[in-house]
Amino acid sequence: MLLVFLAGCAHTGADRMSLHQAELRLDLAERYLIEDEPRPALEQLQQVKEASPDNPRLYFNMGLAHTSMEDWDRAARDFEKALELKPDYGEAWNNLGQVRKAQGRTQEARQAYEAALEIEEYMTPEFAYYNLASLFQEEGDLERALEYAVNSVEKNRRFVPGYDLAGSLYQELDLYDEALRIFERGAQAMPGNARLSLAYAEELVRAGRDSEAITWFEHVIEQNDDSQEAQMARDYLEALR
């Protein structure tokens, strides 16, 4: 019904598109983006652009669509336009950083992530912290990468990628007790996440705490018996018993 309604609106002309209709098209475009369908998303966004060319959300979503298509130059222009219209748009700064990183412009990427973190109203700073951590990891600065990875889970205790990265960095630095603790935090914060539960169980084995590890391997299997993590857990259990 929504599609029929929007199609009926299309021929009335951009100058007659109401604010409500523009918002509906933005919502629809975002749904397409979630489904990884950037081209139909852009079709909706282009119609919004004709009617409401000064909407920062419009350009942010265009940037996401062009990012999905790996059209980095257009994506950068879109995010920059969103920031021109709304300089405190934390999500746009973070995504501009992702585009600059993809372009190999790492210094500009870092500056964009840092700009996102300077915005008090930025609602998802864990992403910018995580992206900075990944950037420093690629540059070989593991200690600084670890600092930002830990910050990402401090900002959002349910941020699974942050636990994964922080744990792997502790391991790379041979800080296995700290790796155990961060994976324990993650597994307890997200008991339904098989990947974190498995990582915690593996660290328990490394620490020689086999009986506790067995409990967590069994927990992984209970979560999703058909998952790859469950198969790995069964293999560990066979080796332990």
Query: Which two tokens mark 59?
Result: 């350009």
- Is there a contact between 81 and 58 (Cβ–Cβ < 8 Å)? no
Could you give the 3-state DSSP secondary structure of residue 108?
Answer: helix
How far from 106 is each of 32, 85, 97, 134, CA to CA, in Å?
29, 24, 8, 11
Domains contained in the chain, CATH given:
1-123 (1.25.40.10)
Quote the pTM value. Answer: 0.88
Q: How far apart are CA 109 and CA 75, in angstroms?
A: 14
DSSP string, 15-65: GG--HHHHHHHHHHHHHHHHTT-HHHHHHHHHHHHHH-TT-HHHHHHHHHH
Low-confidence stretches of the chain (pLDDT < 50) are: 1-15
What is the reported pLDDT for 105? 98
Q: How far apart are CA 79 and CA 73, in angstroms?
A: 10
What is the reported pLDDT for 51? 87
Query: Which two tokens mark 137?
Result: 């990891």
Maximum C-alpha span of the chain: 72
Which one-letter DSSP state was computed for residue 14? G
What is the reported pLDDT for 208? 97
φ/ψ of 57, rounded to 5, equals -60, -35
- Is there a contact between 170 and 178 (Cβ–Cβ < 8 Å)? yes
Q: How far apart are CA 4 and CA 115, in angstroms?
A: 41
What is the reported pLDDT for 19? 82
What is the reported pLDDT for 16? 56
